[in-house]
Amino acid sequence: MFNSILLLVPIIHALLFTSVNSMRFTLKSGEPKCISEDIKGNAMTVGNYSVVNPGEEGYPIPDSHKITVRVRSPYGNNFHFGNHVGSGNFAFTTTEAGDYTACFSVLERKPAITVTIDFEWRTGTAEKYWYKIAKKDQVEVMEYELRRLYESVSFIHDEMFYLRGSLLLL
């Protein structure tokens, strides 16, 4: 009787990042730098950046080293604007497909200064999973799948913080 129990595990949204770019680069005051990423339409993209503190740990980023960051779609729509900040993050779902660009700049000054930036840009798709457990022996399969998902889920937890951070900017 019970061999046909049907268990529907709720839909789980998992963010699977298919592209992860992590980089450190330098930026000269007055000379903007742009990084572009070819992204499909309807993909989830998440990024975070921070200025490497030129001073001692624990001190705030000096004003001189704060950066302005813009993330734009291939058609020039603005998806993120960090105005004179030491760090920031963004998360959005792409509309059109094509080259998304993140541009970083530091105000021009004399003599020129160099700012070091850490930047992580991850892109992927939000997927839905359904689990149907029709028979007992399939529970094993599910266990395996859930373990696999568990890793993505802890990932999502991190992403939620980005999402919240970004919503505050809206």
Ligand X SMILES: *[C@@H]1O[C@H](CO)[C@@H](O)[C@H](O)[C@H]1NC(C)=O
- 165 to each of 81, 129, 160, 168, 170, how far by Cα in Å? 13, 26, 8, 5, 10
Phi-psi sector, 140: left (phi>0), alpha (psi -120 to 50), beta: alpha
Q: Which is nearer to ligand X, 25 or 144 (CB)?
A: 25
Letters for 99-138 (x = contact with ligand X by CB under 6 A, - = none) are: -------------------xxx------------------
Residue selected from 15, 37, 45, 48 as contacting ligand X according to rule CB under 6 A: 48
Q: Is 158 in the site for ligand X (CB under 6 A)?
A: yes
Kindly indicate which of the ranges 3-11, 30-38, 48-56, 132-140 contains the residues binding ligand X, using the contact rule CB under 6 A.
48-56
3-state SS, residue 154: helix
Residues within the interface to ligand X (CB under 6 A): 48-50, 87, 118-120, 158
